Amino acid sequence: MIYLDNAATTIRKPQTVIDAVASAMCSMGNAGRGVNDASLGAARTIYEAREKLARLFHAEQPKQIAFTSNSTESLNIAVKGTLVPGDHVITTALEHNSVLRPLYELEKTGVELTILDSDRLGRINYEDFHQEIRENTKAIVCTHGSNLTGNLIDIRRVGQIAAKRGLLLIVDASQTAGVFPIDVQKMHIDILCFTGHKGLLGPQGTGGLYVRPGLAVRPFKSGGSGVQTYSKSHPAEMPTALEAGTLNGHGIAGLSAAADYLLETGIDAVRIREQELMDRFYKGVRDIPGVTVYGDFTSMERCAIVTLNIGDYDSSEVSDELLMTYGISTRSGGHCAPLMHQALGTAEQGAVRFSFSHYNTEEEVDIAIRAVRELAPEE
Amino acid sequence: MMRKKELKLVLTFHTTADAMAMEKACKEQNAPGRLIPVPRAISAGCGLAWCAGLDTRHILKQLMDRVGIEEQDMHECMI
């Protein structure tokens, strides 16, 4: 199998990640529950993971990193834990349903929602933020990178707008964490939501969020915390405030090893390699007659994603053909990004997404190029 | 070139869990078919569908009734 669906999840993980999960499953107690070697070992492992992620994201303190099971959970906590009826929030057409659906849900309760359009290349106009800010605007929620086109949003620029206007900035870093430099302080990010199983190279079922010191986020669950047992309310301090119940310690042990790998390898090296492979694929397919590539390729400083269609073929048929005939795994359909597809004009056809990992090879890319060429209708 | 299309039976499901139950049941009972992405002729959204020959309708329906799998829809389309 040639796996080119790394934007869905990176299938190959460093061996150290696998070893760390296996080791944790042989030895890990419940962090913060009891004081014994096993529970303390778990607590240390999880704290170290916080430290490493805080380093990766330039957070002020490790305790500002709370663990969840994925970006969707983090985004739900961030959005539902900061907005109340009467607030206005701005988001973009680039968003995944994990941003859009919680916002639509809140809209029904009286939160006002503005969604910034994108152009046919999937780019937003940053001036639109200024134009849409109202007196009651509370937050901007936006992705760092589109899961459909791979286009980036300049978070530093959005952060400057948010900071200047006193708005919260909630960022969905699902496609960029572990690959692109993120400095929550310099980018004025108030809440950063990430998943562990994509660019961070950790296990599925891991994720989390950074919350700026001093910002209170209403948790949507309460319960066991390992501290303040006789209090009727869940502790309000980070990270415990957002971590009721036993964490996925085994997974977090893997995520911690993955963070080690990234810190040692360097995210720049990982990103440059991914982008080289993306560039090779893009240049190999863009001129094939009948192939339409979506997104903004004026710069290669983008997520390692190339999304395309071949003629008017159903994207699910093309994806199936790539799998059955060539053994190439891609993703077709809507990618949980309905507004982006509408902007690109692909709502009906869907699109076939090729997404690359630094573990992919030139040979795999060349086979994928050849496959696209062979599937394209003869003129 | 893409493969030549044939008219096939395509079953969609309410959830991925239902689609997986279908695959498991079919494998266990040697029933025909395989999972494919939902074709756009059926839905523009994502998801898994069970694709099999047209003549399998009765066998699959019986199997699903027996193991308690409910399809969302049953289509005939060119695959």
- What single DSSP character describes residue A142? E
Mean pLDDT across the stretch A176-197?
Answer: 98
pLDDT tens profile A263-277? 999 999 999 999 999
| Domains identified in chain B and CATH numbers | 7-78 (3.30.70)
Sorted by sequence, the CB contacts under 8 Å of residue A310 that are 6+ apart come out as: A290, A291, A318, A352, A372, A375, A376, A377
Contact A282, A293 (CB under 8 A): yes
Residue B43: what pLDDT? 83
Residue A231: what pLDDT? 87
Q: How confident is the model at residue B71 (pLDDT cuts 50, 70, 90)?
A: confident
What is the pLDDT of chain A when averaged over all its residues? 96
> Looking at this predicted complex, what is its ipTM?
0.82
* Helix residue spans in chain A (DSSP H): 15-27, 37-57, 71-80, 97-108, 127-132, 155-165, 249-265, 267-285, 315-326, 338-344, 362-375
* Contacts A329 to B, Cβ<8 Å: none
| Domains identified in chain A and CATH numbers | 15-265 (3.40.640.10), 266-375 (3.90.1150.10)
Give the rounded percent of residues in chain A with a pLDDT score beyond 90.
94
Query: Which B residues in the span 47-66 are in contact with A, Cβ-Cβ below 8 Å?
Result: 47
**Inter-chain contact A374–B39, Cβ cutoff 8 Å?**
no
Nearest CA in chain B to A321: B2
**Inter-chain contact B40–A314, Cβ cutoff 8 Å?**
yes
Query: Is residue A304's pLDDT more than 80?
Result: yes
**Inter-chain contact A348–B3, Cβ cutoff 8 Å?**
no
Q: A244, A69, A87, A276: which is closest to A170 by C-alpha?
A: A87
The amino acid at residue A321 is E
Mean pLDDT across the stretch B7-30?
Answer: 92
Pairing of strands A65-68, A207-211: antiparallel
Whether residue B1 lies within 8 A of chain A, CB to CB, comes out as yes
Residue A371: what pLDDT? 98
Mean pLDDT across the stretch A229-251?
Answer: 93
Mean pLDDT across the stretch A68-93?
Answer: 98
Contact A86, A217 (CB under 8 A): no
pLDDT tens profile A22-32? 999 999 999 98
Query: Is residue B15's pLDDT more than 90?
Result: no
**Inter-chain contact B36–A316, Cβ cutoff 8 Å?**
yes
Candidates B6, B40, B78: best to mutate against A (most CBs of A within 10 A) is B40
What is the dihedral sign for C-alpha B18, B20, B23, B26?
A: negative
Q: How confident is the model at residue A379 (pLDDT cuts 50, 70, 90)?
A: low
| B10 three-state secondary structure | strand
**Inter-chain contact B44–A317, Cβ cutoff 8 Å?**
no
Residue A118: what pLDDT? 97
| B31 three-state secondary structure | coil
- Alpha carbon distance A112, A115 (integer Å): 10
- Alpha carbon distance A90, A105 (integer Å): 14
Query: Is residue A159's pLDDT more than 70?
Result: yes
Q: How confident is the model at residue A149 (pLDDT cuts 50, 70, 90)?
A: very high
Query: Is residue A216's pLDDT more than 70?
Result: yes
Lowest mean pLDDT among A30-44, A48-62, A83-97: A30-44
List beta partners, residue A171.
A142, A192
Whether residue B45 lies within 8 A of chain A, CB to CB, comes out as yes
- Compare CB distances from B45 to A318, A319, A334 and report the shortest one's residue: A334
Query: Is residue A362's pLDDT more than 80?
Result: yes
- Alpha carbon distance A237, A310 (integer Å): 52
**Inter-chain contact B46–A334, Cβ cutoff 8 Å?**
yes
* Helix residue spans in chain B (DSSP H): 16-28, 57-67
**Range with top average pLDDT, A40-44, A166-170, A237-241, B71-75:** A166-170
Q: How far is A379 from chain B (nearest CA, A)?
A: 11
Q: How far is A199 from chain B (nearest CA, A)?
A: 23
Residue A206: what pLDDT? 98
Query: Is residue B16's pLDDT more than 90?
Result: no
Candidates A314, A326, A329, A349: best to mutate against B (most CBs of B within 10 A) is A314
| A348 three-state secondary structure | coil
Give the rounded percent of residues in chain A with a pLDDT score beyond 70.
100
**Total residues found in chain B within this entry:** 79
